[in-house]
Amino acid sequence: MSLLERRVVPANLPWGIDARSPLGRPVTVSGSATRGTVNGQPVVLAGTNNYLGLTYEPRCIEAAVEALRRLGTGTTGSRMANGTYAEHLLLEQELADFYGLPHALTFTTGYQANLGMIAALGGSDGILMLDAECHASIYDGARLAGCELYRFKHNDPADLEKRLRRLGARATDTLVVLEGIYSMRGDQPPLAELCAVARAAGACLLVDEAHSFGVLGGRGRGAVELFDVEDQVDFVTGTFSKSLGATGGFCVSRHDLRYVVPLARPYIFSASLTPAVVASTRAALGIVAAEPELRARLWDNTRRVHAACTALGLLRTPCESPIVAVALAEPEHALDIWHGLIGEGLYVNLIAPPAAPGNYLLLRCSLSAAHTDADVDDIVRAFGWLAARYGASVLHL
């Protein structure tokens, strides 16, 4: 085995890098947020995180096309060089206004938003306290910061309180990081309780709303709005690549984020968002603010699929998000099941460790407001095939 193979292929990967592997499997879409093809097989797309279905929204497309013609294909520079256009500042102001906060920063990806903010806020002499199931970008931000890193048990306020208490006076130098919806299992944190623990200890709090922005809350402001803790959270990060149907990331805060800029390496050293992406994101943000019926449609689809999967014996825990995750106890069947679902006309994500928590594999389905009743029928039918043929392989988390 070559050095490259030894470095790249994880020892615990349950499949190889070959024609059957889901790694980099091309998904073809053409004019639809919810229908495409995989290996020439027509499928319902239920693994895209396209929660509000805005990737083919005409208003977003037209805004992007206009910006492309007027401002070109790219900025060719970082925000610290020539990469700040008037449109970047408008997007940041609109994000701040959406949250009712004074400050916002945008990044080229949501990954970079977490990487830059956490590295800057943690610092080499700070402390980060992360939920054990936080996203890789959050852990990588901790590594970039080079600060002390501690984990508390997933969604466990008592364990967070215990670990902050052990820090004593140093708890006030601690940044606690949570997520509004956890991306793999789709569960939500007991956010009010976790906020109370962090505030009592004097710690700062950052909530990553990547999967909850546009999904939770009356206005789509995420878990911080749903749990009525907006005034208790110091920083909110998120991405444009889910509900907003684009790419990019952001942070909003009541604190002056200009102090973050010199310390946020992804902000300083990455080319800025392209004009077309900025324009489509601004259009999508306006739609999220003005059209709550998209969230209502998303939750109708979510409840329907969850109820069906529960009745089929695939789920036993309450579904609290549009992410429906089915865990598999037998990794050797995972590829067959995944390919079988594609054959049944359904594309979902097949997730293995380390992306999936624990030592199991996940069939991860993400619902969209753009899924029609017929799409949902097909999703339920494919899960029925899974339950009938492989129900004994399903774990109940």
pLDDT in tens, 33-83: 999 999 889 999 999 999 999 999 999 999 999 999 999 999 999 999 999
Question: pLDDT band at 123, cuts 50/70/90?
Answer: confident
Query: Taking the mean position of all CA atoms in its chain, how far away is CA 31?
Result: 24
Catalytic residue flag (residue 242): yes
| Residue pointed to by tokens 């946020």 | 264
The pLDDT of 180-189, averaged and rounded, is 94
Active-site annotation holder among 88, 103, 183, 272: 183
Coil, helix or strand for 232?
Answer: coil
Report pLDDT for 6.
65
Report pLDDT for 166.
97
In single-letter form, the type of residue at position 41 comes to Q
Query: Taking the mean position of all CA atoms in its chain, how far away is CA 133?
Result: 13
Nearest to 34 by CA among 364, 348, 386, 343: 348
Structure tokens at 301: 């689809």
Half-sphere exposure of 353 (CA within 13 A, CB side): 11
Are 171 and 128 spatial neighbours (Cβ–Cβ below 8 Å)?
Answer: no
Contacts for 273 with CB less than 8 Å, ≥ 6 apart = 75, 88, 91, 106, 108, 247, 248, 281
The pLDDT of 374-394, averaged and rounded, is 93
Active-site annotation holder among 88, 242, 306, 371: 242
Longest pairwise C-alpha distance within the chain: 60
Active-site annotation holder among 211, 212, 253, 280: 211
Domain 75-273 has CATH 3.40.640.10: yes
Q: Where in the chain is the domain with CATH 3.90.1150.10?
A: 3-56+292-395
- The answer on pLDDT for 19 being more than 60 is no
* 151, containing H or E segment: strand 148-152
Q: Give the architecture (CATH level 2) of 3-56+292-395.
A: Alpha-Beta Complex (3.90)
Report pLDDT for 29.
86
- Gap between the Cα atoms of 273 and 247, Å rounded: 8
Catalytic residue flag (residue 280): no
Report pLDDT for 391.
84
Catalytic residue flag (residue 183): yes
Report pLDDT for 7.
64
Q: What is the pTM of this model?
A: 0.94
Report pLDDT for 328.
87
